Chains A and B, each alone.
Chain A
Amino acid sequence: MRRPRVLVTLLVLMMIAAACGQKAGVGGATSNDAFGAGGASNVQAGGAANGDTGGTGATGVADTATTAPGATGATGTGAAGSATSAGTSHAATATPAGDRTGITDTTITIGVHAPISGAAPFPQSSFQKGSPVYWDFLQTKGGVFGRMVKVIIMDDEYNPASAKRVCQQMVEQNHVFLLIGGGGADQITACAQYANSVGVPYLSAGVNENGLRNLRGYFAFSMSYPAQSPLLVQWATKKLGGGKFAIAVEDTPSFADAHASIVSAAKAGGLQIVYDKSIPKTVQQTDALSIANGLRASGAQIVYILASPQSFVNIAAAAAGQAYNPHWIGPGITSGLNLVAQVGCPAIGAANFLSPFPELDVIDKLDPDFVPAYQKYAGGTPDDISLALWGLNKGLAQVFLAAGKDMTRQSFVQTLESGKRFTTNVYPAGQFSPTNHFGSTQAHMLQADCSSRTYKTVAQFASGF
């Protein structure tokens, strides 16, 4: 380094100036207005006004020209009073009249994030084979007004930071029209909040409600975990005989509402809560044994578990090893997959999980198109992940078709909120309104059948038992 002092001083000056200026949009407007029609825009350029997403204390020098070459390129986005708290360069500044990113004359591009590696992975091949099937099928019927739908799948590594990162990548580089979350409440929450800040619609199966309730562009297409609690309590009392009840919920703020809801539902239903402890996000051998032992010592006959499928299997296996076989129940998207039955049987016994989609045993009666379409376009026998994707895409297609040929992100959201009922006969019907983005009131009840190592559907489209 020949003249480090000069170089470094320059760079440090540049850095300080850059840090003091150009603080557009950190003052957390929630950019719900990016979706059009809605309250008065209260976004302030360079503002530290609404501090809920962490304004970095604008020192009022928002207009200072910086010496950094890069900053001049950023003035265009910054000064427009962008409602982005993620500092990305576009989206919310689009005219509310119509954001058609991701839609061309021939294609609609959508993005999906799901855990393919990390603590609770799905098999990559299931996703890759399963996602295009419905769209290939629909294409023979004219597609979405002649357009094909392309699905991009990315791995969120069961980590909310990675989820946000891949969502950002899909929005900024692949220019997806909307985003879908495959599973994992923390990851869904992180990505949904990001998507909302840049005006991208986001859909997922129902998980938590906290942190998602006020997002204008977020829609849950199945019952949320808190909403499922009364159903589970009814199942426990009417079909399983009630008795001593244990609650094991993963220790994350995302599940606080689910936890509160199951506790109150259990009390209202007359169940005796003998165990209520939180379990860590990753449960390993010693943890599993300790938790199983604690459950056994409490004498619980029915255990409500809300955690990753991996944790569930480990705890169930440890419990079975101790000759303790309670009845496992829980809300779900992922614990009711055949994958879990394959790995978890015989320890999980006749576990009952609610699910937004039915299992393969009844799908031929509900939607006879699925299996032939899968065999034609993907080849081989379908698995339940593909079934879930089929149902999801089918519902999505209905919304696309209802939104009309000239669809924008805003019109997509408005179509969902219009109160129209979307039925797929796979997922429960969804009906949303401007004030209710959790539009489902039914779920399917699955039961593990360890003789075949699969889950069977024991109740369909149930809103009570």
Chain B
Amino acid sequence: MTTIDLRSEDPTEVIDVPRVLADRGWVPSARGWLARFAVVFAVVFVVLGAPFYLHTRQVDLAAAPIYAIIALSLNVLIGYTGTISLGHQAFVGIGAFTTAYVVGQHHQPFLLGIVIAAALGGFQALILGGLALRISGLYFALITLSYGVLAQESLFNIKSLTGGGAGATAPMPTPIRTYYFICLGFLALVLYADWRLMRSKGGRALLALRENPRVAATFGINVKLYTLVGFMVSGVFAGIGGALLAHRDEVVNSVGFDFQLALLFVLMTVVGGLRNRTGIVISASLFALLKMLVQEVPGFQRTLARWDLTLPVLFLLGGIAAVAYGVHKRNRIVLAVGALAGLLAVLVLSPVRVPYLEDRLAEIPVLTPERASGVVGPVLLLVVLTRLPGGIGQLVKPIQLWVSGRRFDWAAGRVKEVVITDVRA
């Protein structure tokens, strides 16, 4: 007897019930299993083998699991408890500075530093959670924002604890390759803890809470307790991430923990797809490795540098797409704009010299990898919010389900909208 599992942690996910029912009992063939195993093996090979292949980039690689841990911690807040945190850099920073203090200043063992960092992270998250009990939704977002600024300007600048402007040191405990695997190990730990939490009664309570606290209360769920639990878990994970980050950078300074970092974390989590662990891990890794990827992928840097070629090509493609859309939807404005853009692009690309435009194009600065992430990231965020609510998780879900033994289905994992909390305050 096969049980049909229609549960999904994400209630906004669209489940094609007839399809699921029709596929019940379907088992992949031997070849199918082989294919699935090959894909899993390839992924594991890449993850475990990267530091050997990219041996000059190991420090950059170690950032991927660390950012994944941080994004997962933010997912607990945003995805599970439904609280938006715009000051998450404070949670992470507390972990970082704690371990720098414990290991760097007082020469305690590395693991002790991580443990204390996690504990402190959980503790300060608990305090903030206490505040969250009294203040709702949007306003709490502002509190987290203000708390983040407080952390950066005040807490992280207390000279005796953090070294002030010069920063604190947190030496890497092992050579970098081992450290990469240590970070992977911690990521596995966090993923496991997250998975167990969500499978437990507490996790289900959290999700119910997120959907509607008042209804949850009528079911006997202790709203206060579970909100605090959610905050604490998030703080512990963030503390671990921060501590690992500190040891990777080896120098920790308040300048790095600014508001933009908090927004980057939110970006990573939302683009990954709320409540979707795989998507979040992938998204965080991408953002962490963006600069490295741009530098390693051949030809990419040249594309970002030659705007006098790239931009007209983009305009041409965009123009063609706009014309097609305008014809399809009978929208004259879009059609006109598209035609104009396309025509201009053709003119610029042709040997005919367009005086003003070509000079302006030549003046556009090179899009260096640092600047690229500042532009690509927010664009992805806006695209996800308006067009692809499930984020990367939504894109990856079909593959995930296929690997777990179901028939491959393009439409699986579709998410209706980005819902952080259903309470429409």
Task: Classify A-B as touching or not with yes or no (CB < 8 A).
Answer: yes
- The tally of residues in A whose CB lies under 8 Å from a CB in B reads 69
Assess whether B404 is interfacial by the CB under 8 Å rule.
Answer: yes
Assess whether A11 is interfacial by the CB under 8 Å rule.
Answer: yes
Assess whether A70 is interfacial by the CB under 8 Å rule.
Answer: yes
Chain A residues near B255: list those with CB within 8 A: 118-119, 157-161, 281
- CB pair A252 B164 closer than 8 Å: yes
Among A73-81, A131-139, A268-276, which stretch is in contact with chain B?
A: A73-81
Among A34-42, A52-60, A392-400, A403-411, which stretch is in contact with chain B?
A: A52-60
- CB pair A87 B159 closer than 8 Å: no
Among A13-21, A219-227, A292-300, which stretch is in contact with chain B?
A: A13-21
- CB pair A26 B181 closer than 8 Å: no
Which of A55, A74, A158 is in CB contact (< 8 Å) with B178? Answer: A74
- CB pair B195 A87 closer than 8 Å: no
- CB pair A71 B107 closer than 8 Å: no
Chain A residues near B176: list those with CB within 8 A: 87-89
Q: How far is the CA of A149 from the CA of B39 in the complex (A)?
A: 47
Q: How far is the CA of A189 from the CA of B251 in the complex (A)?
A: 11
- CB pair B182 A15 closer than 8 Å: yes
- CB pair A251 B177 closer than 8 Å: no
Assess whether B211 is interfacial by the CB under 8 Å rule.
Answer: no
Q: How far is the CA of A57 from the CA of B173 in the complex (A)?
A: 10
Of all chain A residues, the one with the shortest Cβ separation from B105 is: A54
Assess whether B370 is interfacial by the CB under 8 Å rule.
Answer: yes
Q: How far is the CA of A211 from the CA of B168 in the complex (A)?
A: 13
Give min CB distance, A309 to chain B, whole Å: 15
Assess whether B11 is interfacial by the CB under 8 Å rule.
Answer: no
- CB pair A87 B188 closer than 8 Å: no
Assess whether A146 is interfacial by the CB under 8 Å rule.
Answer: no
Given contacts A66-B178, A186-B166, A253-B159, contact A15 B253 (CB under 8 A): no
Chain B residues near A11: list those with CB within 8 A: 184-185, 188-189
Interface magnitude class on chain B? 35 or more
Chain A residues near B166: list those with CB within 8 A: 160, 186, 189-190, 211, 252-254
Q: How far is the CA of A291 from the CA of B105 in the complex (A)?
A: 33
- CB pair A162 B177 closer than 8 Å: no
Chain B residues near A158: list those with CB within 8 A: 255
Chain A residues near B52: list those with CB within 8 A: 70, 73
Assess whether B103 is interfacial by the CB under 8 Å rule.
Answer: yes
Of all chain B residues, the one with the shortest Cβ separation from A55 is: B107
Given contacts A14-B181, A68-B178, A88-B176, contact A53 B251 (CB under 8 A): no
Give min CB distance, B279 to chain A, whole Å: 14
Assess whether A51 is interfacial by the CB under 8 Å rule.
Answer: yes
Q: How far is the CA of A142 from the CA of B413 in the complex (A)?
A: 66
- CB pair B179 A251 closer than 8 Å: no
Binary contact readout A420-437 vs B (1 if CB under 8 angstroms, 0 otherwise) = 000000000000000000
- CB pair B177 A70 closer than 8 Å: yes
Chain B residues near A57: list those with CB within 8 A: 107-109, 112
- CB pair B178 A173 closer than 8 Å: no
Assess whether A250 is interfacial by the CB under 8 Å rule.
Answer: yes
Among A2-10, A319-327, A354-362, which stretch is in contact with chain B?
A: A2-10
Chain B residues near A162: list those with CB within 8 A: 256
Chain B residues near A157: list those with CB within 8 A: 255
Q: List 15 A-B contacts (CB under 8 A).
A: A18-B174, A19-B111, A22-B178, A54-B107, A55-B107, A71-B174, A74-B178, A87-B171, A88-B175, A89-B176, A118-B255, A162-B256, A253-B164, A254-B166, A255-B165
> 4 shortest A-B CB distances, which residue pairs?
A15-B185, A252-B165, A57-B109, A87-B172
Interface residues in chain B, defined as those with a beta carbon under 8 Å from any beta carbon in chain A: 48, 51-52, 56-57, 59, 103-105, 107-112, 153, 157, 159, 163-167, 169-182, 184-186, 188-189, 191-192, 195, 249-256, 370, 404
